[in-house]
Chains A and B, each alone.
Chain A
Amino acid sequence: MDYVTQLQKQLVDYTASLFHEKFLDEQFNQLQQLQDESNPDFVVEVVSLFFEDSERLLNELGKVLEQQIIDYRKVDAHVHQLKGSSSRFSLGTRFFHGSIGAQRVQSVCITFRNYCEEKNIEGCLKCLQQVKHEYSLVKSKLDTLFKLEKQLVAAGGSIPTYVV
């Protein structure tokens, strides 16, 4: 098997695992379809923006929770937004389908909002940690994916399309 074919196989297998573990889903396919010569970096751009936006949101959440007097409505609003945007890369659905035993972002968000209602600062902080962990997990998976793609292209190969 030549080097390019090897890289290609590595990429396909890795992407398959991300779909299988529900880190990625149909929406990712949609994004790939929008990528073409006039928009060669579309997927990487969208994913980067997603993590930048999410990081900002998580930092804001952290700050609000550090205040002497916590505005729980603000916390709740941020978590509401997190819950919505996290479904974008199936961060939530992968845990609804109960595949991997780790943190569940969407159900964590529900728990998070309950803690807000109860004004339970410790509960909120714990949830925040869980969500941060989940995001960094997905981010590193996608970073690996993009690195593999780059390697393949640099070696002269082209990225195969995936059918799930």
Chain B
Amino acid sequence: MAQAIGSASQRASGFGSGGLPRNGGSAKGSGSSNRPRMTWKNNLNALVVDNERFSQHVEKGILRNFGVETEAVETGEAAVELIASGATFNLIFIDISLPAMDGPRTAMQIRAMGVQSKIIGLSSSLTEEDEEEFLRAGVDKCIEKPLTTAWLVPVLRELDGQI
């Protein structure tokens, strides 16, 4: 049973580290919620390779909300090009189904370039075959979309601790 717990005030979050006040959009400039929810010892950055627009939007949203500078591209080729130009990322998310060069092939190419960052394979509907193919291609782990804060936070903590 849903109940309102006050308006525009800090919400007691059922999960995660303290919710942000949700505003109607017209209130601007109070400043407090432009800060990310967590800060890290290091500057963490991530690359999202996903051509499903709404999940790309969500992935970027979650990562940025946790203070991770995030870039997003729609194709494997674009990701490879970006990395070839010298960009480095702590964390790379690759969707399994991309136009032209698919997720696993993209992961393989990226690994072949010597990238040792943590790579996570994403899928809308993860099957065992998908997972095996992705892992063979060199990703560290596969998860089914959507990306959740519950999953992400420990991963970011671990990454931050390792740098």
Chain A residues packing against B (C-beta within 8 Å): 8, 12, 15-16, 19-20, 27, 29-42, 45-47, 49-50, 52-53, 80-81, 83-85, 87-88, 149, 152-153, 157-164
Contact = CB atoms under 8 A, between A and B. Distances in A.
Interface in B10-24: 11-14, 16, 19-24
A149 B24 CA distance: 8
Contacts of A29: 14
A89 B21 CA distance: 22
B4 A161 contact: yes
A78 B115 CA distance: 32
29 contacts: A16-B3, A31-B58, A32-B22, A33-B16, A33-B22, A34-B61, A34-B65, A36-B20, A37-B30, A37-B34, A38-B33, A39-B61, A40-B24, A41-B25, A46-B61, A49-B57, A84-B145, A85-B55, A88-B145, A153-B24, A157-B7, A157-B24, A159-B8, A159-B23, A161-B6, A161-B21, A163-B3, A163-B12, A164-B2
B69 interface: no
Can you list the 8 inter-chain pairs with the closest CB atoms, starting with the nearest? A84-B124, A84-B125, A153-B24, A49-B54, A160-B4, A40-B25, A16-B2, A36-B33
B57 A46 contact: yes
Given A46-B57, A84-B125, A162 B3 contact: yes
Contacts of A53: 52-54
| Secondary structure of the A contact surface, majority rule | helix
Contacts of B22: 32-33, 35-36, 159, 161
Contacts of B1: 16, 20, 164
A161 B24 contact: no
A4 B11 CA distance: 20
A81 B61 contact: no
| Secondary structure of the B contact surface, majority rule | loop
Contacts of A161: 4-7, 11, 19, 21-22
Contacts of A8: 4, 7
B146 interface: yes
B67 to A, nearest CB: 12
